[in-house]
A and B are shown apart, each in its own frame.
Chain A
C-alpha cells in the first residue's frame, strides 16, 4: 500500500461482485453509471432480476454485439443496450413514477462522499465554475426502497469518502443503506456506520485509519 494507495483490497469487479450477492431474486433494480453497471454481470445464477433504466426501459439486457447497436435503444448513460424478452418501454413520467412511487427495490450508485448518517453526495463538487448537472440521482435516492453505494474508500488524493458530514452538496439526506468499498462492507443504521466485512488482506485498524467517521464494529465482522 502506497501513501495514496487506493488499489488494495477488492478491485472494481470484485466490489461489484460483492454487491451483487445482496441483489435478491425477483428484485427490480436500477444501476448507476460506472462500477454499479458491472453488478448485473455478477448476480448469482438462479436469481431473476429485472433492470430498470430511467430513460424508459424495464428489462434492460446486456450491451449489444458490435454492429448491433441502436441509438434509440440506450441506457441512462446514453450507451447502447439491449432489451430482454418481456421488456417494456415507457415515457419519462411513468419511468420516474416507478422510482418516486417506491416501486423499484434496489438502486446501486457511485459516491463522492457518504456520511455516518447515510447522507449521499454524488452530483456536484459545488465548485463555482462547475456546470451543475443532477440527472435522476436525487429522484433515485428519494424514491428507491434500498440504496447501495459502491465507491473507492478513499479518493485519489487520499481523502476518506466515508465522512462524519458531507462537505459536497447533498444528493439526499439519510438515504444510503449499505456501502461497498474496495476495503470493506459498511451498513448505515440508526446508530451510524456498522462495519460488516473486510476485504481480503485488509485489517480493521487499516480501515479505521482510512475512515473519517466513527465505525461501529459488527460482532460477526468477517
Chain B
C-alpha cells in the first residue's frame, strides 16, 4: 500500500541533516509553507543552503529560519521586500552568503535539476555582472550563458490538496515554485490543506503527479504570513 501521509510536521522534517540543501516554495507569502519551516526551526538543522525566490518577511517563516542562524547560504532572485529585515541585516554583516540568480534562470535551474539536466544555455543575464565567470557560447549568432541545474536534499512545499499517492493541486498564484521544487529534491515534503480520496482529483487536473512527492502532511488552516507580520509575531 502506498500512503505518503505523515502524521506531523515535526515527523516530516525530523531527518533533515546539518548542511542540507533545501528548496522552499513560495513567492512572497503566496505558497510559503510556514508550518513546515517552523517545524524545521524546532528541529534545529544548521548550515543549510536554502533555495527560495525571496528571504521572508518580518520574523516568521523563512525570515525566522534565517534569523535563527540555521541558513548559511541563500540562492534566490529577490532577497529583499517591503517587510524583509532579517536577511538584509545579516548580509550587510557578512554573516550569510547570497547567490543571486535571475528569477527565470532560478526556475529553469530547478526544473533542470528535476529533469536530470546538469546544465543548459540561456540568453538571460548575458552581458551583465551575473554572467561573469560563466561559460559563454554562441548558437545561431546569439550569445548564451551556461547555467547549472540545481538539486536539493529536501523541498518544503505548500499546496491546496493532495491524495495519499501524493497527487497535488494548488491554489492560484501560490502554485509558483511548488511543482518544480517537488521534482528537484531527493525528498519532497508537502503540506496540504486537505486530504482527498484517490480519484477525487480528476486525472486531467492533477498538477503535481504523485511520483514527485515523498511526504504529505495535512495542515488544515495554515497561517497567513502577512497577518503574522502585521501582528509582529515572532517564531520561535
Contact = CB atoms under 8 A, between A and B. Distances in A.
Interface of A: 53-57, 70-74, 78, 83, 89-93, 95-96, 99-100, 129, 131-139, 142-143, 169-173
Interface residues of B, number: 52
B123 interface: yes
B100 A132 contact: yes
A172 B92 CA distance: 27
Q: Which 7 A-B pairs have the closest CB atoms?
A: A96-B104, A139-B104, A92-B107, A173-B127, A72-B174, A136-B103, A93-B111
A136 B77 contact: yes
Given A92-B107, A134-B77, 10 more contacts: A55-B173, A56-B173, A78-B28, A92-B176, A100-B122, A133-B100, A134-B100, A137-B102, A139-B102, A172-B127
B180 A92 contact: yes
Nearest to B102: A138
Contact of B77 (A90, A91, A135): A135
Interface string B60-82: 00000000000000000111111
B188 interface: no
Interface in B108-153: 108, 110-111, 122-130
A202 B124 CA distance: 37
Nearest to A134: B102
A37 to B, nearest CB: 16
Contacts of A57: 172-173
A77 to B, nearest CB: 9
Question: Chain A interface mostly helix, strand, loop or mixed?
Answer: loop
Contact of B173 (A72, A93, A142): A72
A91 B78 contact: no
Given A93-B111, A100-B108, A71 B29 contact: yes
Contacts of A134: 77-78, 100-103, 130
Given A71-B30, A72-B31, A74-B28, A91 B103 contact: no
B154 interface: no
A170 B127 contact: yes
- Which of B28, B92, B111, B175 gathers the greatest number of chain A CB atoms within 10 Å? B175
A132 B98 contact: yes
A80 to B, nearest CB: 10
A172 B104 CA distance: 14
Given A91-B179, A139-B124, A78 B27 contact: yes
B128 A169 contact: yes
B170 interface: yes
Contact of B81 (A56, A78, A93): A78
B226 interface: yes
A205 to B, nearest CB: 34
B173 A89 contact: yes
Nearest to B89: A131
Select the residue from B123, B127, B173 with max chain A CB neighbours within 10 A: B173
A142 B180 contact: no
A95 B111 CA distance: 12
Given A56-B173, A78-B81, A135-B78, A93 B124 contact: no
B80 A92 contact: no
A56 B176 contact: yes
Nearest to B158: A72
A121 B147 CA distance: 22
